Amino acid sequence: MLNTRTGKIRGKMKAVVVGAGTAGLVAAWELLRNGFEVEVVERTSAVGGLARTFRYGDYSFDIGPHRFFTNDKEVLALVEDVLGDERVEIDRRSGVYLGGRYYDWPLDTGAVFKLPLGLMLRAFRDLLSQRTGEIRTFEDYVIAKYGETLYEVFFRNYSTKFLGIPPEETDPEWARAGIDRAVIDERVKAETLGALVRRTLLPRRVKTTFLYPKGGSGRFCEKLAERFVAKGGQLRLGTEIESVERDGKRLVSVDGRKADLLVWTGSVGRLCELLGCTRPSLDYLSLLLYNIEIPAAPDRRLADLDYQWCYYGEARFAFNRISRPKLFWDGAVPPGADSLCVEVTAMEGDERWSAPEALLPRVLEELTSLRLLAPSHPHSVHTERVREAYPIYRLGFRRELDAALAAISEYGRVYAAGRTGLFWYNNMDHSIRQALDLARKILSDVANPGIQARR
């Protein structure tokens, strides 16, 4: 029960949190400091989840580009408190590769006038004849917002290559989420072609800055985990949950260990299986990372390419995105060195996933063709597999997801959270916000056991 004077829980309730990523650790920390006994269980050998950092000697690599950008004061205060002076503030620079040229992303005035004349004229023509009607698919959404030209030259290819399913079979929520994730700054409006034109005719350059942890994005979770353990929290790494025991709809234990409540940030489908309810038809996309150390002086083209990350939508490239860790934090590489994080999507169990080394020669050849890597430069490659990195928003996914979350909500004190648990394409700051809100909901549920608050 909740002590109304102190706001803490009277008597130790045991909370099990599955997943030591951003959402899991923030929720675990909030519950621990509010009087719960908390155990965090993580299937990998390190904390951080999809925001972890891989380290090889003096080189650090995140799982693609990660950063903290938020207007939420509570979230920002927590990030600054956890990181302390282990953070830097940097300007955002991202790009897209189209037709043999690099352009700033989101597109700005300068980028628009660098487009080939025919492409630029077709894009502006789209503004005058934009499609209207029902938005049912990713294709409908992007054409209505950006026009057919930009859809054909970039969005169609990128989405198809990234997800492995055609745009006409992809839910429009993928477009909404994807564009939001790419823009990140609410002051930069990339939601319509008209907004792009207005920025072209009435330019107002917006500089976006964000926080980044010294040591890599994983430092936030690492430092929070250190604080969590120091205060008495339990952390078990390299452990997969095999069973959730219950008495009817009431949680009893997790893997035979007493549990009064469960916060689950793993696959929503796996949670449904463990609870004995119908597994939803929801799939996750996994990632292959080719983390390339470049100890020698980089090729001139790489030195001039000052994008922290860049999108490659053309089908001829195996990879979807490349990031340069040193442009987030100069300590990510030794002095005078460079590195590339190359991302390739895969389905767990497919040919790429099973034999990522077979794709490596093609990746290196493509990097060489872009002059981002030169055969004469020494380099070494570390290949990493990252499971369940992105939810795949097929048509009808929302119906499946809502049914799954409704079934989970029938079980007392079982909560799905985070990107994977909620099948939610989000950023780290969104995970923090959701975890803080979830902790408050749990405290309310415990204080009012007769009320099942709406999820």
Structural domain spans, the chain:
14-51+73-88+214-280+397-447, 94-207, 284-391
Place of tokens 């996309």: 285
Supply 115's token pair: 């487009």
Strongest mean pLDDT among 133-137, 140-144, 435-439: 435-439
Residue 299: predicted pLDDT = 57
Supply 423's token pair: 């099948």
> Which CATH class, in words, describes the domain spanning 14-51+73-88+214-280+397-447?
alpha beta
* pLDDT tens per residue across span 333-367: 999 899 999 999 999 999 999 999 999 999 999 99
User: What's the mean pLDDT when you consider all of the chain?
Assistant: 87
In this structure, what is the dihedral angle of CA atoms 214, 60, 323, 77, given to the nearest 10 degrees? Answer: -30
Q: Give the CATH number of domain 284-391; options: 3.90.580.10, 3.40.50.2300, 3.40.50.360, 3.90.660.20.
A: 3.90.660.20
Q: For residue 395, what pLDDT band results from cuts at 50, 70 and 90?
A: very high
With beta carbons less than 8 A apart as the criterion, state whether 383 and 360 touch.
yes
Supply 112's token pair: 């628009």
Point out the least confidently predicted range of 69-78, 173-182, 373-382. 173-182
Q: For residue 448, what pLDDT band results from cuts at 50, 70 and 90?
A: confident
Supply 432's token pair: 């923090």
Strongest mean pLDDT among 52-66, 200-214, 300-314: 52-66
Average pLDDT of span 14-21: 98
Q: Does residue 290 carry a pLDDT above 50?
A: yes
What are the residues whose beta carbons fall under 8 Å from the beta carbon of 55, sequence distance 6 or more?
A: 61, 216
Residue 274: predicted pLDDT = 97
CATH number of the structural domain 94-207: 1.10.3110
With beta carbons less than 8 A apart as the criterion, state whether 318 and 359 touch.
yes
DSSP 121-187: HHHHHHHHT---S---SHHHHHHHHH-HHHIIIIIHHHHHHHHSS-GGGB-HHHHHHHHHHHH--TT
Residue 265 DSSP one-character state: -
Three-state DSSP state, 329: coil
